[in-house]
Structure 1
C-alpha cells in the first residue's frame, strides 16, 4: 500500500465511533483499533486501520471542508465496487458503508487491505527491477481491458450514468467544476475547452469507464507485476472506453518530455513508453485507437481542473493537504494539453 501520510486523524475521524461501527461488521476486529493516514490525501482521505491482532483494513472518506456537488461520493464508489466483485476487474473486497451521522458527518467506506506495491514514490519504483517496471504498464492495460469488458446489465450498472455522448458530458462537467474551483484567471482553460469541443470524435460504444487509471491508483503484485487491485473509483461512469486510455497516457510522463511536464516514476528506465501502452491496448481490446490523441488532450485538461480544486480546498480549509506548488502543476498540464492538441490537429 501507499506510504503513511503525516498528520493526526482526529479532525477527520471519530476513532471511538468508527471502531464501534467496524466491530458491528462481523469481521472479527478486536479493539483497540489504530488509524493512520496513508497516501497524499488530495482527494478522498484514506486511512489504514489495524486491530489489536494486527489485522488490517482500509477506510475512505471525503476530504475535509466544503465539497463541490457530486464530488468525492464514497457511497457511489461502494455501489460500483460492490457490483464489480464477481467480475475479473481487480478491486478490493467491499466490507462496509457507514451513513450513520452518529459515527461520521460524511459517509465512510471500509475495504479489504491488499498487500502489494503502489508506485506512488520514486524510491519505490527505483527498488524494482527494470523487467518488473516493464510489466507494470501492460498490467494496467490488461486491467483497463477488463473494466471495458464488464457486462453492465449483468452487474446492475447499466443505469449508473447517462449513455449520451461522453465527451460533451465531460467538457460540460469540468467546465462547471473550473468555474466553482478556480483560484485565479486562466483563459487557456476555456480556450482549450473550445478547441476540444470542436474536435469531438464519434462515439461508437458505451462501456464502464474508470476515469482515473494511473500507477498510483493500482496495487501491483510484487512478484509478477499484475494489478491486484484498481483503486479510487470516484470518477467511474459510463462512456467511451478510449477516455480511459487517454487518462492513462496523461498520467504517464516519459523520458524526453518537456521539462514543463510534471515528472513521474514512469520516466525511469524500464517503464513502457506511451506509444507502447497504446499499441498494447489496441491489440488486447481490438479497438480502433485513432481518436486517443483527443482523449489524451482532454484528460490533461481535466486533471488540471481537478488539481485546481485541490488548490482551492487547501486555501479554504487548512486541514486539507497544502496546495503549495499545485497552481504551477496546473499550468504545466494545460501547456501539455495544448501541445498534444496541436500535434493532433485539434
Structure 2
C-alpha cells in the first residue's frame, strides 16, 4: 500500500524540527483505520515515528483535523493519560497537500485483529479490558482548564450537540435511505438525559485505539484523538460499550475479538469505570445506544469514502449489510435499556 507523503521532504522538515533522522526514510501504512491515515516512518538507524494525515478524497468540514489532534495530545503530556510524545504538525506542501501530524513511535501491541487477541492469555485479556475502563476514567479526570483545553469546544449540553453533529454527518455521507436509522435518531432525541459533568471526551475510545504491553495488558498509549471534544464523560463509556462485543453475539461489522475468553463483560467494564471515576451510571443506557448509533454513522461515512475513492479501503470491508446489522444492534440495545418499544 502506498504512502501518500513525500518522505524526502518529510525528512528535511523533521530535521528542522530537531529530530535526529539518519539517512532516508521509509514508510508503511499501519492499522485498519479508514479515517485519518496512519504511517510508521523509519530511518536507516532504527529511528521510528508515527505520521497521521487526513484521508484521500472528499472530506467533511468538521472531520479529520490532525492539527486539533496534535493540540489535544500535546496538552495531555504529563497528566497521567498515556499518550505518545508529540513532535509537531507539518504544513509543508512539499510533504503533502494536507497537514501531517508527527509523533513519537510507542513500542507495544495494537489488538486490531482476532489473531492478536488470541495471542494474549485470558489473564492479560481481562487486565486489558479493565485497564481500558480505568484509562478512560483517567481521561475524564483531567482538569481541562489546567491543561489549556477549556476552550476546545462548546460546553453547551452535550447530547443535543452530538445528535445535531452526527445527524449532519449522516446526511453528508449517506449512501442510501435508512428509515430505521432515522427512527433511532428520533428515539435518541426524545430520551436525552439531563446534562451532567463536562470533561474531555475522547470520542472514539476502543481496544484498537490503544497500544498495550502484550505481557501485562497495561495500556501504554491512547491513540486517535481526532473526534475529541468537551462533553458528558458517560458518552465515552457508552461508545466503548458500543464497540465491545460479548460472547454469544457478533453484530455485523463489529470487532468480535472482545468476545474471547478472559475479556470482561460490558457490565464489568462499566462497573470498573464508574468505580474509578466515582460516577453515577444512571444515564449510561442512553449513551450506549447513542454510541452504537454513531458507529453506524461512522460505518456509513467509511462506505461513502470507499465509494468515492477505493484507495481509502483498509482491513475488513464495510458493506451495506454490516451497516444494517449495526442499526439493528442499536435497536436491541435501546430495548434492553427501556428506550424503545
- Relative to the length of structure 1, the TM-score reads 0.95
Residue equivalent to 1:331: 324
Residue equivalent to 2:41: 49
Deviation at 1:149, TM superposition (A): 0.6
- Structure 1: 5+ residue runs without aligned partners? 1-6
Of 203, 211, 215, 2:207 maps to: 215
Q: Is the 8 A contact 1:23 1:30 kept in 2?
A: no
Alignment of 1:65-76 (within 5 A): 65-76=57-68
Task: Count how many residue pairs are aligned between Structure 1 and Structure 2.
Answer: 338
1:228 alignment partner, SS class: strand
Of 293, 299, 302, 1:307 maps to: 299
2:21 alignment partner, SS class: coil
Deviation at 1:292, TM superposition (A): 0.7
Of 144, 148, 155, 1:152 maps to: 144
1:175 aligns with 2:164: no
Q: Is the 8 A contact 1:33 1:52 kept in 2?
A: yes
Residue equivalent to 1:248: 240
Q: Deviations over 1:171-216 (max 9, x none)?
A: 0001011111011111112100110011011122100100111000
Residue equivalent to 1:4: none
Of 264, 267, 280, 1:275 maps to: 267
- Structure 2: 5+ residue runs without aligned partners? none
Question: Which whole-Å CA distance do the structure 1 matches of 2:180 and 2:268 have between them?
Answer: 30
Moved over 6 A (4+): none
What is the root-mean-square deviation of aligned Cα atoms in Å? 1.3
Question: Which whole-Å CA distance do the structure 2 matches of 1:259 and 1:171 have between them?
Answer: 23
1:155 alignment partner, SS class: coil
Counterparts in 2 of 1:267 and 1:295: CA distance versus 1, 3 Å? same
- Relative to the length of structure 2, the TM-score reads 0.96
Q: Deviations over 1:43-90 (max 9, x none)?
A: 110100110101111110000011001110000000100111121111
1:228 aligns with 2:240: no
Question: Which whole-Å CA distance do the structure 2 matches of 1:340 and 1:42 have between them?
Answer: 26
Question: Which whole-Å CA distance do the structure 2 matches of 1:300 and 1:44 have between them?
Answer: 21
1:36 alignment partner, SS class: strand
2:35 alignment partner, SS class: coil
Counterparts in 2 of 1:34 and 1:261: CA distance versus 1, 3 Å? closer
Q: Is the 8 A contact 2:79 2:142 kept in 1?
A: yes
1:216 alignment partner, SS class: helix
Alignment of 1:1-346 (within 5 A): 7-9=1-3, 12-257=4-249, 260=252, 262-321=254-313, 324-346=317-339
Q: Is the 8 A contact 2:243 2:254 kept in 1?
A: no
